[in-house]
Amino acid sequence: MATDSASHLHTAAEPSRDAVIDLLGMLSYGQLVAFDQMSRDARLAPDLRRRALLSQLAAAELTHYQRLADELAQLGVQPEQAMRPFVVALEDFHASTQPSDWLEGLVKVVVGDGIADDFHREVANFVGEKYREVVLAVLHDNRLYDYAVREVRAAIAADPSKGDALALWARRLIGEAMGQAQRVAAERESLVRLVIDGSGSLTGVVELFKRLTHAHTERLRLLGLSS
């Protein structure tokens, strides 16, 4: 099969088995904590209709977990073993960014899951066709983002003073996320190797992070939270 997309040009070799296991493990645990977070957030809903909707979106997201667990099993790895290295960083991120109300929860979904999905979409290009498809299949559903963006915009339109506090919240989220991402990078060399090898050069890595930053800024604009 031809791999003619630009992002494949630099890929020197197949990714290491360790890198694939780390990526699938990180995604698996990400699914569990996202489910946990969204089912908590549903409790913050201002009414039963919204509570039901977010509960349903949370449940729908978790269906991806089995796919990842199956792929890990095929690699001869227990999912819990692959997830373990990421538990502390992801738990710390969520513990330090517990939404205090419905809108903070939705902003967290868009900003936090949004940048995580963007990163995974980039890395998907570095793991070969088979795992690329797996990673793309487990990204969050657009329905979720669309819903969250609509809700946040409507709330700010109704009460513009909410925008400032939520913009501050978004900055805190991204700060905490970057802190934990650095921690993971410091501990999981295989993932760092994957990004560097996949990007082809340090310039490539810089470009990748520029794209993530740009998409993040775009999301803030969409939410009505850009300054």
For residue 4, the SS3 value is coil
Long-range contacts of the stretch 39-47 (C-beta < 8 A, 24+): 40/98, 40/105, 41/99, 41/102, 41/105, 41/106, 41/108, 41/109, 44/99, 44/101, 44/102, 44/105, 45/102, 46/102
Rule CB under 8 A: is residue 4 a binding residue for a second copy?
Answer: no
- State the minimum distance, in angstroms, from the CB of residue 59 to a second copy: 4
Q: Which residues contact 38 (CB under 8 A, 6 or more apart)?
A: 54, 57, 58, 61, 105, 109
Letters for 16-35 (x = contact with a second copy by CB under 8 A, - = none) are ------------xx--x--x
- State the minimum distance, in angstroms, from the CB of residue 12 to a second copy: 34
Q: In terms of CB distance, is 42 or 110 closer to a second copy? A: 42
Chain positions 48 to 87 lying near a second copy, rule: CB under 8 A, are 48-49, 51-52, 55-56, 58-60, 62-63, 65-66, 69, 78-80, 83-84, 87
Q: In terms of CB distance, is 52 or 168 closer to a second copy? A: 52
- State the minimum distance, in angstroms, from the CB of residue 42 to a second copy: 7
User: Can you spell out the DSSP letters for 137-201?
Assistant: HTSPPHHHHHHHHHHHHHHHHH-THHHHHHHHHHHHHHHHHHHHHHHHHHH-HHHHHHHHHHHSS
Q: In terms of CB distance, is 63 or 226 closer to a second copy? A: 63
Letters for 123-162 (x = contact with a second copy by CB under 8 A, - = none) are ----------------------------------------
- State the minimum distance, in angstroms, from the CB of residue 98 to a second copy: 13
Q: In terms of CB distance, is 14 or 80 closer to a second copy? A: 80
Query: Is the CB of residue 25 less than 8 Å from the CB of residue 85?
Result: yes
> Tokens 């939705």 correspond to what residue?
106
CA–CA dist 63, 65 (Å, integer): 5
Q: Given candidates 7, 11, 39, 190, which one binds a second copy under the rule CB under 8 A?
A: 39
Q: Which residues contact 192 (CB under 8 A, 6 or more apart)?
A: 185
Token duo for residue 224: 């009505």
Q: Given candidates 18, 36, 92, 207, which one binds a second copy under the rule CB under 8 A?
A: 36
User: What residues line the site for a second copy (CB under 8 A)?
Assistant: 28-29, 32, 35-36, 39-40, 42-43, 47-49, 51-52, 55-56, 58-60, 62-63, 65-66, 69, 78-80, 83-84, 87
